[in-house]
């Protein structure tokens, strides 16, 4: 079943994990990353507890997630359904743990994702929202989960269909539809800055879009924005969740290329 809230705050004690060089490397990287997030929050006049770190573990083995769990992490981001489902099964003994689907999601994968995801960051169409709603209903009936699925609407800042996201002019209708879904909870927004964009301007625009969404849907407080290279700018513009892969995990394994 879906686990309850995990240890999502950016800053917190990093316990020592005995063992391999990989464990030591991840522990060092995690400490440095949490310090970086905390510094960005201080610079923005924000409480570090208001910004969660979401480790992006796609392409990395379940053993890395196990290490990060021992280091206090309880939430993990994956972007490929088949890979994620295998990790969920392999790590089923870890509790509590919350899995986030952060990549583009096809409707035919919605039923599977609904079995294990606590949060989906990439809802960008009414048809996908409907498929997830139906998937969560089926998962609840089958006893695979006992909670609604929190969803973030991915908003497109560049209108590039290849990168996903709903255009801002269609965001209100999608938000209204998600609110009507019995098995979904509208949590907020997610976005990725356009390629070769001025990141400051992109995140400032996103902050304005999020403010308008919250005016109509006050519970949609989450803003998933910022990655390894731009998390400071995202935090300055209100991000509540930074999705970090490379700065924590290192370069992708060669087999992922």
Q: Which residues of 224-248 are buried (b: 16+ CB within 10 A; e: fewer)?
A: bbbbbebbbbbbbbbbbbbbbbebb
Q: Rounded distance, CA 60 to CA 87, Å?
A: 10
Domain 49-250 carries which CATH code? Answer: 3.20.20.10
- Residue 121 is predicted with a pLDDT of 98
Give the end-to-end CA distance of the chain in Å, rounded to a whole number: 33
Nearest CA to 4 out of 99, 90, 77, 88 is that of 99
Tokens of 230: 């731009």
Query: 235: helix, coil or strand?
Result: helix
- Taking only the tens place, the pLDDT of each residue in 41-74 is 999 999 999 999 999 999 999 999 999 999 999 9
Q: pLDDT tens digits, residue range 19-28?
A: 699 999 999 9
Give the Cα separation of 3 and 14 in Å (integer). 22
Reply yes or no: is the peptide bond before residue 254 cis, omega within 30 of 0: no
Which residue intervals of the chain are DSSP H helices? Answer: 21-44, 62-70, 81-90, 110-116, 126-141, 171-180, 199-216, 231-236, 246-249
- What pTM does this model have? 0.91
Separation between Cα atoms, residue 156 and residue 149, nearest integer Å: 22
Rg (CA), the chain: 17
What parts of the chain have a pLDDT lower than 50? 1-7, 10-13, 257
Domain boundaries, the chain: 49-250
pLDDT of residue 11: 42
* pLDDT score, position 13: 45
CB atoms under 10 Å from CB of 177, counted, come to: 18
Give the count of beta carbons closer than 10 Å to the beta carbon of residue 8: 17
Residues in the chain, overall count: 257
pLDDT of 158 reads: 87
DSSP state at residue 147: S
């Amino acid at each position: 079943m879906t686990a309850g809230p995990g240890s999502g705050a950016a800053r917190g004690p990093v316990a020592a994990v005995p063992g391999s060089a990989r464990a030591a490397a991840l522990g060092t990287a995690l400490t440095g990353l949490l310090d970086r997030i905390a510094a960005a929050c201080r610079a923005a006049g924000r409480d570090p507890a208001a910004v969660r770190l979401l480790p992006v573990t796609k392409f990395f083995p379940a053993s890395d997630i196990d290490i990060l769990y021992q280091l206090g992490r309880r939430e993990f981001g994956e972007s490929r359904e088949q890979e994620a489902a295998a990790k969920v099964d392999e790590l089923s003994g870890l509790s509590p743990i919350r899995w986030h689907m952060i990549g583009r999601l096809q409707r035919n994968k919605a039923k599977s994702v609904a079995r294990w995801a606590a949060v989906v960051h990439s809802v960008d169409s009414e048809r996908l929202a409907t498929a997830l709603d139906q998937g969560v209903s089926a998962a609840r009936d089958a006893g695979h989960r006992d909670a609604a699925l929190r969803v973030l609407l991915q908003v497109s800042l560049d209108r590039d269909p290849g990168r996903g996201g709903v255009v801002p002019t269609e965001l209100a209708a999608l938000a209204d539809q998600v609110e009507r879904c019995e098995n979904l909870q509208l949590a907020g927004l997610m976005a990725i800055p356009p390629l070769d964009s001025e990141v400051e301007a992109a995140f400032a625009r996103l902050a304005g879009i999020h403010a308008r969404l919250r005016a109509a849907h006050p519970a949609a407080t989450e803003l998933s924005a910022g990655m390894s290279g731009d998390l400071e700018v995202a935090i300055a513009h209100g991000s509540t969740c930074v999705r970090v892969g490379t700065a924590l995990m290192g370069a992708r394994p060669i087999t992922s290329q």
